[in-house]
Amino acid sequence: MKTPIEREIIDSAIEELGIKDFGKATIREVKAIAAIAEKKSGVEFIKMEMGVPGLPPSKVGVEAQINALKNGIARLYPDINGIPELKQEAARFVKMFINTDVSPESCVPVTGSMQGTYASFLTATQCVEGRDTILFIDPGFPVQKQQLVVMGAKYETFDVYHFRGEKLRDKLEGYLKKGNIAAIVYSNPNNPSWVCLRDEELRIIADLANKYDTIVFEDLAYFAMDFRKDLGKPGVPPYQPSISHYTDNCAMLISGSKAFSYAGERIGVVCMMDKLYHRAYPGLTKRYGGGTFGTVFVHRVLYALSSGTSHSAQFAMAAMLKAANDGTYNFLDEVRVYGERAHKLKEIFQKHKFNIVYDRDMDTDVADGFYFTIGYMGWPSGLLAKELMYYGVSAISLSTTGSDQKGLRACTSFIEDHQYEELDKRLAIFEANNKCER
| pLDDT per residue as tens digits for the range 252-292 | 999 999 999 999 999 999 999 999 999 999 999 999 999 99
Q: Within a 10 A sphere around the Cβ of 428, how many other Cβ atoms?
A: 14
Look at residues 302, 326, 350 and tell me which one is the last residue of a structural domain: 326
Q: Indicate if the pLDDT at residue 437 is higher than 80.
A: no
Note whether 405 and 357 are within 8 A (CB): yes
In a domain, 1, yes or no: no
Domain check: are 198 and 94 in the same one? yes
Domain check: are 243 and 349 in the same one? no
pTM greater than 0.85 (yes/no): yes
Q: How many domains does the chain have?
A: 2
In a domain, 239, yes or no: yes
Q: Give the residue-averaged pLDDT of 353-371.
A: 95
Name the band, by pLDDT with cuts 50, 70 and 90, for residue 183. very high
C-alpha distance from residue 316 to each of 109, 131, 253 (Å):
12, 37, 17
Percent of the chain with pLDDT over 90: 97
Domain check: are 128 and 244 in the same one? yes
Note whether 224 and 231 are within 8 A (CB): yes
CA distance 134 to 121: 7
Burial class of residue 245 (count of CB atoms within 10 Å of its CB; 0-12, 13-18, 19+): middle
Q: Give the residue-averaged pLDDT of 313-327.
A: 98
C-alpha distance from residue 46 to each of 49, 352, 409, 424, 428 (Å):
9, 16, 14, 11, 15
Domain check: are 251 and 319 in the same one? yes
Q: Indicate if the pLDDT at residue 218 is higher than 80.
A: yes
Q: Indicate if the pLDDT at residue 195 is higher than 70.
A: yes
Look at residues 326, 361, 387 and tell me which one is the last residue of a structural domain: 326
Q: Is 346 helix (H, G, I), strand (E, B) or coil?
A: helix
Q: 300: which DSSP letter? A: I
Residue 436's pLDDT is 60
Write the single-letter amino acid at 185.
V
* Domain of residue 384, CATH code: 3.90.1150.100
> Where in the sequence is the domain holding 190, given as residue range(s)?
59-326
To 5 degrees, how large is the angle CA 37–CA 39–CA 42? 95
Q: What is the pLDDT of residues 45-100, one digit of tens each?
A: 999 998 888 899 999 999 999 999 999 999 999 999 999 999 999 999 999 999 99
Domain check: are 345 and 369 in the same one? yes
Q: Give the residue-averaged pLDDT of 246-250.
A: 98
In a domain, 315, yes or no: yes
Domain check: are 224 and 82 in the same one? yes
Q: Indicate if the pLDDT at residue 386 is higher than 70.
A: yes
Domain check: are 87 and 207 in the same one? yes
Residue 434's pLDDT is 92
Domain check: are 317 and 392 in the same one? no
Sheet with 396-397, edge to edge strand ranges: 355-356, 371-375, 408-411, 396-397
